[in-house]
Amino acid sequence: MPSSGDEKKRVFAFHSILVLTADTSTDHLIQAVLVAGTSNITKETESALHYLAAWSFVEMAKLPDFQRIPYHQFVILLSSCELHVSHELVAADAALLWLVGQPHPAIYAPGIFSVIRSAYLSKVDRQLIVERIATLQMPESVARFARISMESRHSSRICLEGTHVNRHLSRCGIPDPESRPKETTLSLSRPREGIKWSEKSE
């Protein structure tokens, strides 16, 4: 019978291999995130995977398995200051892509939009998000919650952590969404072949 020490070594080896493998490609990374969503892994391993995923977020969003990321893992990612996006609208775009792949997007919309940092979104950005929700044929309740959430003070919170500001993280610092280049394509959630669609239901 294996000792507890041997078991700990096996668990440590598994977690180490999981992180090392995740760091080799975006495909392996998203599979590791999926494993993390269904396995009992250590907090350190989970944090390491989330860090890698945050910095490859847009690349992961282009993969078919992106919509399979478990809700709780996705919310953690979407709430991260480390999320490597050019601006907040890209984070919202990826969130819409994830939502439309869920059987009942209205259930998950409150948690998803609560971590979108609307202070970094312009009025045009917010309108684009609402229009895309309609284009994706998600329930009206999703659009309604998006509008309410993006106008709430809670979603307008900002990060002024000194180290984050000095690193020029796009989701941190004093918001000035009107001054950045305009983005109108929302390319990640654009209706196209390969996107998993949810059934329209309230």
Instruction: Quick: pLDDT tens for 171-202.
Output: 999 998 877 666 667 899 988 776 766 554 44
Per residue in 137-153, pLDDT tens? 999 999 999 999 999 87
124 Cβ neighbours under 8 A, 6+ residues apart:
182, 184
Place of tokens 């478990």: 70
Per residue in 29-63, pLDDT tens? 999 899 887 777 788 888 899 999 999 999 999 99
**Between 156 and 35, whose confidence is greater?**
35
CA distance 109 to 139: 10
Mean pLDDT to the nearest integer, 59-83: 94
pLDDT number for residue 8:
63
pLDDT number for residue 152:
85
Q: Where are the domains of the chain?
A: 1-65, 85-186
- 185, with CB counted inside 10 A (0-12, 13-18, 19+), is exposed
Helix and strand numbers (H, E) in the chain are 10, 0
Place of tokens 């590791």: 32
CA distance 200 to 88: 26
**Which of 144, 138, 123 has its CA nearest to residue 191?**
138
**Which of 131, 99, 52 has its CA nearest to residue 198?**
99
Mean pLDDT to the nearest integer, 118-146: 94
